[in-house]
Structure 1
Amino acid sequence: MSSSQRPGADATVSAVSAGVTGPLAELGLDVEAVELTPAGKRRVLRIAVDKDGGVTLDDVAAATRAINDVVDSSDALGEQPFTLEVTSRGVDRPLALPRHWRRNRSRLVKVTLVDDTVVTGRIGESDEDRVTLDVDGSAREVPYADVKKALVQIEFNRKDRD
């Protein structure tokens, strides 16, 4: 979760995040990021959500209604106007939690390890502590504790989709 550099923005982001997490969980959605940024006289409240199987437009619509209800019933954002954007997690965000690895099974990922070694492989089995990558036909088990950064790679012409 991030915010602008303005004082109090972190507290606002924390309050909004805490308020929306429960209602979104009831919809089967995880809160992946909450950002509040200035945009002229308004602010933009951007909330990224995700779930197993991916987020649909109906999920985004339901999440938007739930978030509006929470924000309207609290004073977390005060009186200053804001624009709400609800998005899916997106492939440009790093894989940081076990559920991110699980949800991206069979996708190609570029992993930078804590020793700065870079490994590119296809995501296989994963659990709460580690992931198995298929690296050029060989299985390589990677503990999450050894991962510095991991990004899904975009593939336009993949022939072996599940």
Structure 2
Amino acid sequence: MAEASLPDSDLFLVDVTVSDSPVRPKVTVLADGEQGITIDQCATISRRISKKIEEKYGEELSYTIEVSSPGVDYPLTQPKQFTRNIGRNLKLKLQDGTEKTGKLEEVTETGINLTEEIKQKGKKATYEPVQIPFGEIVKANVVISFK
């Protein structure tokens, strides 16, 4: 239902959740686009989803709906999100429990290419290219820098 409510072909869903509150459930939709997402696009998605909920469950159903883009602290979950962040630094947690930090260089069909920053105590950091399949990534966040 949410996927069909996207007004433009360059938009994609990041996450859809419905709270389990029986009194007034909250529908939260996170959407993004190759060029970002506007407030008007979020409003259009909200109206379209609300109309579909009313058609399916009736107008008397009480709920709240929130449509927004994922914040900068929200983990990257979709390949398209990785593509939007090429050139930025990422912090990754992998299946084996290790963490990697580095600059996202490229996104392929199967994973990402990262220039990993390797810090050694008392030495200058070195950088090595590394390929990481999407299936090995447990969590990926953009590293915010205020430099």
TM > 0.5 fold call: yes
Match of 1:37 in 2: 19
Residue type matched to 1:20 in 2? Answer: A
Instruction: Pick the structure with greater CA Rg.
Output: 2
Aligned-CA RMSD value: 2.2
Measure the CA separation in 2 of the matches of 1:46 and 1:96: 16
Fraction of identical pairs, as percent: 29
Residue type matched to 2:116 in 1? Answer: V
| Secondary structure of the corresponding residue to residue 63 of structure 1 | helix
Measure the CA separation in 1 of the matches of 2:96 and 2:20: 37
User: What pairs up with 1:96-111 in 2 under 5 angstroms?
Assistant: 96-111=77-92
**TM-score with structure 2 setting the length:** 0.79
Q: Displacement, 1:43?
A: 2.0
Residues 20 and 70 of structure 1 are in contact (CA less than 8 Å); yes or no, is this contact kept in structure 2?
Answer: no
Measure the CA separation in 2 of the matches of 1:112 and 1:147: 6
1:52-111, Cα deviation, whole Å (9 max, x unpaired): 111111221221222222222222x88431111111122333223322211221221111
Match of 1:120 among 101, 104, 128: 101
Measure the CA separation in 2 of the matches of 1:54 and 1:119: 26
Q: Displacement, 1:112?
A: 1.4
Aligned length: 137
Structure 2: gaps spanning 5 or more residues:
118-126
Whose helix proportion is higher, 1 or 2?
A: 1
1:99-132, Cα deviation, whole Å (9 max, x unpaired): 2211221221111122222110111111120211
**TM-score with structure 1 setting the length:** 0.73
